[in-house]
Structure 1
Amino acid sequence: MDQRHAHRKDEHVFIAEKQFSTQSNNGLDQIRILPNNLPEIAVEEVDYSTSIAGKLSAVPFFINAMSGGSPSTRKLNKKLALAANETGIAMATGSQSIAVKFPDASTSFQVVRESMPNGFVIGNLGAGNNLHAAKEAIKMISADALEIHLNAVQEIIMPEGERSFYWQDQIAEIAAELEIPVIVKEVGFGISPATLEELKKINIKYVDLSGRGGTNFARIENQRLHSENFNCLDNFGMNIAECLIASRPFENDFSFTASGGIRDALDIVKCLCLGADNVGISGLFLHTLLKEDIAGLIKQIESLKHQVKAIMTILGCHNVDELRKVSLILSDSLLNFKNQLI
């Protein structure tokens, strides 16, 4: 295993946890849901099943991409996968690019499939990888879907990062040639309407908007950066509330995942109300796992499942489709953002 790359993976996890805050800047606090005082529904009538990458999912949230590529992150991936398997939710791995280049790092990803043999496992590669690499990543973990992450901001700050970003043709080829769904995702800076227009042209159907507000790879890389200060990008991009509002004109073109600083069940429900089909959670689950181990993470996931269903009940919503019709009030700031969109 390449020790330099493995060390970087460990650094990312360490700094992400160090920077974790129970308070998020995801923008969802700027959205209010009007109450339904006569819900006329019972909890047992609520069905919150949805889809992830076009596949049926019994739960509307999942463990999103985090780790892998080193011995210590192998242990994290195993624990995350065991929790996902126990609770019946999907899980995405961290970037497998390191294992495609250095096959002895593949065990840190293979442990996910080993720990959830019948679960929904999502692979992950950075944009810029070719079709062969995508097939290798899928084979490595028998992936049910593949995330391709767009991380130009992170790469440009990272001392050892890429400096050339010709990605679109390879993404188009991968999506056209693979037999499993491809999800194009950001890594915390939000996907803009202009980018959605480009993804639409190459027939991408599944997008993780991944807004600012959670794990901040600009700040992570800035903390690793020794030769240059790139703090000007610490707050770059759109939060997930802005992303979901900006993506509304594309609701018939894509199935959206919402991610970026999700902290509780109400955040999940608000994302579903705003048009997301599912919600990805990374930092919150990593923090809980590191502090409370597998048992604590399982407890948290089960609590979120219960609370999401409870909130849907008090809103009088039988399913995710009915959440789309819930009345929402936007803050002046969000309304101004919406009105300025071109």
Structure 2
Amino acid sequence: MPPASVGRHSSQRRESNKSNTEERIMKRLKSISLKALALVFAGSLAFTAQAQEKPGEGVSVQPAVATWTSAIPVSWVYAELLTELGYDVQDPISLQNPVAYLAMSEGDVDYWPNGWFPLHNPQLPDNWEDNGTIFDPLCKGCGIQGYLVNKEAVEKYDIEGIMDIVNNEEIRNAFDHDNDGKAELYGCPPGWGCHEGINAMIDKFDLGDRIDHVDAGYSANFTEAMSQIEQGNPTLYMTWGPSAWILKLVPGEDVMWVNAPGIVESENEKASGITGAVTDPIEMGFVAADIQVAANNNFLEENPAAAELFRQAEVPLKWISQVDGKMSEQDLDDDEVRPLAAEWIDENREMVDKWLKAAREAAK
């Protein structure tokens, strides 16, 4: 009997030990499963957070950039912002305006932030409305061209426009620096669009016997105009912005934009809100342009974060002109301009983060 009894108890103990072991294993497996689930859940949350932070992750973007120097800093601002959204932004391709719009329309280029409208309207391809979008201005009224007179002369002779100079012999003589009976207009060299524009104005309004278009190299022309102004001589010259030139002689402080007769009907439209203008609105003689982002529609549909960024971001005229000046004075290349864009973004982080937040929200 005792052996049989011992055997029974031993069997019971084995069954009990087996049960306890299985229970421990199940608890351990359950614990491991919970930890695994927690890790998966945490990883999922981290992935979701990363996706929300960088909605452009894995997307390659090809921008274009215009051929004038002040387009470059604007281009790098957008490249930096898109990079913060996770996009893989390729180096911008430098293109002439009509080629850039055609490339965007055909999907070879995704966007460029260098549209000047309405000046560029005639350069859009026929199928643009189906394939491309132009966003609200990133710099409203910043693409300006026109004529300026030193502020002292404006006030002394009560000048509002070029016609006040050429139609009054006394005033015209004050602007005549070489005593040939004509007022000097320090303009643009042959081959430039503004050279043709100035000559077209002179021809259209029969001003050839009263205005001398000085058409040397622009840097030399501007230097001469600035020298005349420093000597206190009434001076008329042509310039544009964004550019380094409007920082060397600042409209509203050193010089004033003056009215000029337009060359064609569309250019007779007056511009409002121009800093340093003698009148508001003012007839610039050239169309004042808004600087705007243009982009391919397929790219925008597939990338709502980028589309919202294009709606939100703005770049100030003064900063563009300052960087343009540095590029000229220090002979900076593209790689040296990009850090300046990153620096501007960091200096305006609170504003920039609002743009990026809106872009990330649009991607959800």
TM-score by length of 1: 0.27
Q: Which has the larger radius of gyration?
A: 2
TM-score by length of 2: 0.25
